[in-house]
Structure 1
Amino acid sequence: MTTRTLYLLCSAAPPVFDVAHAIEDAQTRGWDVCLGLTPSAAHWLAGSLDGLAALTGHPVRWQYKLPGEPDVWPSADALLFAPATFNSVNAWALGLTDRFVVGVAAEAIGKGTPVVAMPCTNAALAAHPAFEQSLAVLRGTGVELLYGEGGFVPGPADQDESPHFPWQLALDAVDRAGTAMA
Structure 2
Amino acid sequence: MSNRALLLVACGAPLAARLGDGVQAAYERGWDPYVVPTDAALPWLAEQNLGGVPVIVGNRKPTEPRRTPAADAVAVVPTTFHTLNAWATGNAYSYPLTTLCAALGSRTPTVAVPYASQELTGHPAWPASLTVLRQAGIRILDAHDGSPTSLEPMVPGTGSQVVDGFRWDWVFEQIDVATRIRESG
TM above 0.5, yes or no, is: yes
Residue 157 of structure 1 corresponds to which residue in structure 2?
A: 156
Which amino acid in the other structure matches residue 121 of structure 2? A
Gaps spanning 5+ residues in structure 1: where?
Answer: none
1:142 aligned counterpart, secondary structure: coil
1:17 CA displacement: 0.9
1:83 corresponds to 2:78: yes
Structure 1 residues 179 and 26: CA distance shift in structure 2, 3 A = farther
Structure 1 residues 136 and 62: CA distance shift in structure 2, 3 A = same
Residue 62 of structure 1 corresponds to which residue in structure 2?
A: 57
Number of matched pairs: 177
Give CA-to-partner distance per residue, 1:87-143, whole Å, 9 cap, x none. 110111111111211110101111121111111112221111111111111112111
Q: How far apart, in 2, do the equivalents of 1:130 and 1:162 lie?
A: 27
Residue 171 of structure 1 corresponds to which residue in structure 2?
A: 172
1:146 corresponds to 2:141: yes
Amino-acid identity (%): 32
1:160 CA displacement: 5.3
Residue 23 of structure 1 corresponds to which residue in structure 2?
A: 23
Higher mean C-alpha deviation, range 76-85 or range 39-48: 39-48
Q: How far apart, in 1, do the equivalents of 2:46 and 2:180 lie?
A: 33
Query: CA contact under 8 A between 1:126 and 1:154: conserved in structure 2?
Result: yes
Q: How far apart, in 2, do the equivalents of 1:160 and 1:116 lie?
A: 21
Higher mean C-alpha deviation, range 32-41 or range 137-146: 137-146
Residue 4 of structure 1 corresponds to which residue in structure 2?
A: 4
Gaps spanning 5+ residues in structure 2: where?
Answer: none
Residue 127 of structure 1 corresponds to which residue in structure 2?
A: 122
Relative to the length of structure 1, the TM-score reads 0.86
Query: CA contact under 8 A between 1:62 and 1:99: conserved in structure 2?
Result: no
Which amino acid in the other structure matches residue 52 of structure 1? L
Q: How far apart, in 1, do the equivalents of 2:24 and 2:140 lie?
A: 22
1:52 aligned counterpart, secondary structure: coil
Relative to the length of structure 2, the TM-score reads 0.84
Residue 52 of structure 1 corresponds to which residue in structure 2?
A: 50
RMSD over aligned Cα atoms: 2.3
Q: How far apart, in 2, do the equivalents of 1:123 and 1:111 lie?
A: 32
1:41 corresponds to 2:41: yes
Query: CA contact under 8 A between 1:93 and 1:137: conserved in structure 2?
Result: yes
2:50 aligned counterpart, secondary structure: helix
